[in-house]
Structure 1
Amino acid sequence: MNIKFYAPHWGNTLSFDSFCQNVKSAGYNGVEMDLPFESSEKQAILETLQKHDLELIGQYWQSFESDLEEHAGNYEKYLRNLIEAKPVFINCQTGKDYFSFEQNKKLFDLAAQLSEESGIKIIHETHRGKSLFAAHITQNYLHNIPDLRITLDISHWCNVHESLLADQQAAVGLAISHTDHIHSRIGHPEGPQVNDPRAPEWAEVLQTHLNWWDQIVRIHQKNDTVLTITTEFGPADYMPKLPYTQMPVANQWDINVHMMNLLKERYGV
Structure 2
Amino acid sequence: MHRVTSLVPVLAVLVSASLAGPALAAPISEWSFTIVNSWDPGGTVWNSTGSTPSNAFGTGTTLPDGQDPAGDYAFVRWGTPEQTGGNRSFLGADTNLTQSSVLTNGPAATGASFYHGNYSVRTGAGNEAQLKSTRLVSDIMISSVTPVGTEATLHRTFDIDFTETLNARLNQNVPIEECPGYETWGDSGATGACPDRLTLNTSALRFTTGIIDGYVYDFVVSFDLSTLENIVGISVDGDLATIWTGEGVLSRIGTLVTVTARAVPEPGAVALLGAGLAAMGLGLRRRRS
User: What TM-score, normalized by structure 2, do the two folds share?
Assistant: 0.24
Q: Which of structures 1 and 2 has the larger relative contact order (alpha carbons within 8 angstroms, sep 6+)?
A: 2
Structure showing the higher helix proportion among its residues? 1
Structure showing the higher strand proportion among its residues? 2
Higher Cα Rg, which structure: 2
